[in-house]
């Protein structure tokens, strides 16, 4: 995906968003046991909110589930097995305080729980954090305490924008300098678009997000989402309402 605004999805290795949600934790509060003890409560909380916010079609797209029973079973098993294995291998650390905050965050409005383009979960992305120290072996970013894996080793990259605060109509470039955000027609491979614009997948230009019914090639072309969910040159879809945004 081209562009620096909207269409950018991040680097490889992000822990699947569907696992990054939690509920209140009974019993143990750290390590593998805590994660196992909370997996069922977590699944119940996530699936309840999903079935309140998502249409049947959206549920298939966002969570790939058809009914609440299979949703709970799938998420509980996924977290209980995969998450616990990585915690036991000292690749991830379970943060019970962050997990406890998730339940409250999940009670927010649907559009604060699910992002509109793909229906991915917004809150609770930090209760499983990387545990591999700098210099340690890694295959993906999410297992590193620094959240950065390169050449199968956890590293820290220079971040010139880490201490820079820019005005609302500016962005921080790769040199650490504040630059004006791009207006309509600007090349969004070089600049970040203005906050009310998006980066069109087909042209890599800043543009006004499409309204429902407009042609699109990628979800970030639209104010809501797009029926064309992956960018393929020459293929077009139609802008549609955002996923899992409520009844």
Asked whether the predicted pLDDT for residue 6 surpasses 80, the reply is no
Asked whether the predicted pLDDT for residue 33 surpasses 70, the reply is yes
Question: pLDDT-based confidence at 208, cuts 50/70/90?
Answer: very high
What percentage of the chain exceeds 90 in pLDDT?
A: 57
Asked whether the predicted pLDDT for residue 11 surpasses 80, the reply is no
pLDDT tens figures, 103-130: 889 999 999 999 999 999 998 888 889 9
Q: What are phi and psi of 114, to 5 degrees?
A: -125, 130
Q: Tell me if 206 sits within 8 A of 194, measured CB to CB.
A: yes
Q: Tell me if 100 sits within 8 A of 136, measured CB to CB.
A: no
Instruction: Return the number of other C-beta atoms located less than 10 Å from residue 18's C-beta.
Output: 20
- Give residues with Cβ within 8 angstroms of 81, minimum separation 6: none
Average pLDDT over residues 226-247: 92
Asked whether the predicted pLDDT for residue 240 surpasses 90, the reply is yes
Question: pLDDT-based confidence at 31, cuts 50/70/90?
Answer: low
pLDDT at residue 127, as a whole number:
84
pLDDT at residue 13, as a whole number:
37
pLDDT at residue 43, as a whole number:
86
Q: What are phi and psi of 37, to 5 degrees?
A: -70, -25
Question: pLDDT-based confidence at 32, cuts 50/70/90?
Answer: low
Asked whether the predicted pLDDT for residue 169 surpasses 50, the reply is yes
Asked whether the predicted pLDDT for residue 182 surpasses 50, the reply is yes
Question: pLDDT-based confidence at 204, cuts 50/70/90?
Answer: very high
- Give residues with Cβ within 8 angstroms of 228, minimum separation 6: 216, 217, 218, 219, 235, 236, 237
Q: Regarding predicted confidence, which is higher, 177 or 28?
A: 177
Asked whether the predicted pLDDT for residue 1 surpasses 90, the reply is no
pLDDT tens figures, 57-98: 898 888 888 899 999 998 888 887 788 888 889 999 888 888
pLDDT at residue 27, as a whole number:
32
Helix, strand, coil shares, percent, the chain, to 5: 30, 15, 55
What does the mean pLDDT of the chain come to? 85
């Amino acid at each position: 995906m081209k562009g620096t605004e909207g269409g950018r999805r991040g680097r490889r290795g992000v822990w699947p968003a569907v696992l990054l949600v939690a509920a209140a934790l009974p019993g143990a509060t750290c390590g593998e046991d805590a994660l196992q003890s909370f997996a069922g409560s977590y699944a119940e909380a996530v699936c309840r909110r999903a079935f309140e916010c998502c249409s049947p079609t959206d549920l298939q797209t966002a969570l790939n589930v058809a009914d609440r029973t299979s949703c709970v079973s799938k998420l509980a098993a996924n977290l209980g097995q995969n998450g616990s294995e990585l915690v036991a291998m000292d690749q991830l650390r379970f943060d019970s305080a962050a997990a406890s905050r998730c339940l409250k965050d999940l009670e927010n409005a649907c559009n604060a729980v699910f992002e509109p383009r793909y229906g991915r979960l917004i809150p609770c992305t930090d209760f499983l954090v990387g545990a591999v120290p700098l210099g340690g072996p890694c295959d993906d970013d999410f297992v590193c305490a620094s959240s950065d894996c390169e050449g199968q080793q956890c590293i820290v990259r220079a971040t010139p924008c880490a201490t820079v605060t820019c005005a609302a109509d500016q962005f921080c470039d790769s040199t650490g300098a504040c630059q004006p955000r791009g207006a309509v027609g600007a090349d969004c491979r070089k600049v970040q678009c203005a906050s009310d614009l998006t980066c069109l997948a087909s042209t890599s230009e800043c543009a006004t997000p499409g309204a429902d019914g407009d042609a699109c090639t990628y979800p970030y072309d639209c104010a809501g989402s797009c029926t064309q969910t992956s960018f393929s040159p020459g293929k077009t879809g139609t802008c549609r309402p955002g996923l899992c945004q409520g009844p």
